[in-house]
Amino acid sequence: MEASVEKVGSKKVAKIDIVIPEGAPADLVIRFDSIIDELQGITYMPGMIQDIAVTITNNSGHQYAYKDNSFTLATMDTSDFGSLEEGSLLPVLGYDGQYLWINNVGSMLPEYFYEKVFHVNSSGNVTFEMMCQIYDYLEAAGYESIADCITDYYGYSSWDELVANKAGLADKVFATGTTNNGIFDVSEEYLLQMIEKYPWINNYLYVQASGDQLKVQIKWPEAEVAALSYDYFYNNLYYFAYGKENVDKLITTSNKNEYTLEHALGCYQADEPAYAEANAFFANLISANTFANGATASFDMAFALDGPGMGNQYMRYSFGFYNAIELEQVDGNVTISKVDPDGNAVSGAEFVVGRVVEGETQYLGYEGDWTADQQAAAVYVSQNGSFVIENLPFGEYFLKEITAPEGYVLPEETVAFTVDETAEAVQVVNEPEEEEIPDESTPLNPPESSEPSGGEEIPDESTPLNPPDEDIPDESTPLAPATGENSGSPVWIVVGMAMAGCCAAALVMCRKKETEKVRK
């Protein structure tokens, strides 16, 4: 964040430039009160308006949006300025539940005491030592406390009645003019003497150097009056507005309008109209639709001090504020895993990403745009079984597989998924294509051909070995002809019969083997 103050015309405009860097967390707190560091040393007079120009640039790489009801405008954290033990905080609670920083308390004014308590003819005749002895003078005048004296000064019957009259507070208590504004010029030596003589004042002193002298105030030492001065300032005299149109409505002079009065810092508490107005302003300014990566949001804001209602007790008064909004990341990354039924990674599947908006199906484009034309959609491919879809705005989506890997079935169904604060991982399963298995009833050889590969015909076992037109000799008939040489030799008859038997056996074996070959 960079803050600076520039002069624009006759005004000093404070500028805040806030950049959300790459790697920023998902939830961000953006503070506007940080400009106060640049405004240190500036003295504000009653009736002033401090313009502030704010620019927020998103360079995170993600999409952000204003978190609803995260707007906060409150008093500054007083614990940043010390503790009760060291005396920088008073044991007094303000309307915001904080102990009061001594510098946030109004100073005690002689106006209320000079006549009835100190018995002098003007507040200018009241000395610093007289103020140090205030309780002795009050007791002598018949008052039990400072609050009791102020109540009588304005003619109220009780302190509660005085506080309840808001108009009376504005017109009287906090707008009191006086010759003595409660600031005394003393030397350091004299101040130390007074502290030693009246130790009680040490916890209520506000001291500033001014040349060789010190400017010293005694802050209201009583809880009721101290809290009232604090509460009244933040609820009635210190105003805020957001947006150029509203900044222009702030009027701090005597003719201030209702808008100004209704936009004091204390009016920005939850459930108040001013809070609802500011919440709606930031929700519209930084929405999920407008604050993507590279986007810039700029706006004007201002704080202002009341003019006529600012009494002398607030001279050299220190004030501040805490102002912040929260932004939340509204996009995320989704990891898609492509696997087979056994969980093994599958590469080469192609997908498009879709959503349905008001009944229309849209597809994510390459530039983060959305189109109704699926052909123009960005195509994601599963490399090594997975891929990542980055920076999807929170919402409901679906994956559509448009090309299945080779050997796998293209699914007809889409896969729905949600993008939200929780990191999303989606698994898509591809079923493999089924292989064709031959029918067991189908013969291995084509039915139209019964011949073996060699082309030889396999004789049917029922077919006789000898052709039907040849006579098979009767077993009583000799195998060899009866006529011829040696026809009567018994040896040849036996040999001939043995050889005939072997041939027949061989022929039968061949037939059996061929037959078995065909049947297998």
* H/E run at residue 312: none
pLDDT in tens, 135-153: 999 999 999 999 999 999 8
d(CA 311, CA 308): 8
| Distance (Å, whole) CA 401 – CA 352 | 7
On average, the pLDDT of the chain sits at 84
- Residues of the chain with pLDDT > 90: what percent? 61
**What's the predicted TM-score (pTM) here?**
0.75
Fill in the amino acid letter for 177: G
Q: Note the pLDDT tens digit of each residue in 403-437.
A: 999 899 999 899 999 998 776 788 888 888 876 66
Q: Which of 22-31, 200-209, 442-451 has the lowest mean pLDDT?
A: 442-451
Q: How confident is the model at residue 199 (pLDDT cuts 50, 70, 90)?
A: very high
Beta-strand pair 49-58/11-20: parallel
Distance CA 366, CA 378 (A): 5
pLDDT score recorded for residue 205: 94
Per-residue HEC secondary structure of 160-213 comes to: HHHHHCHHHHHHHHCCCCCCCCCCEEECHHHHHHHHHHCHHHHHHEEEEEECCE
pLDDT digits 0-9 by tens, 441-493: 555 555 554 445 444 555 555 444 454 454 544 544 444 344 444 444 444 44
pLDDT at 231 over 50: yes
Percentage of the chain beyond pLDDT 70 is 81
More confident residue, 519 or 21: 21
Residue 188: predicted pLDDT: 96
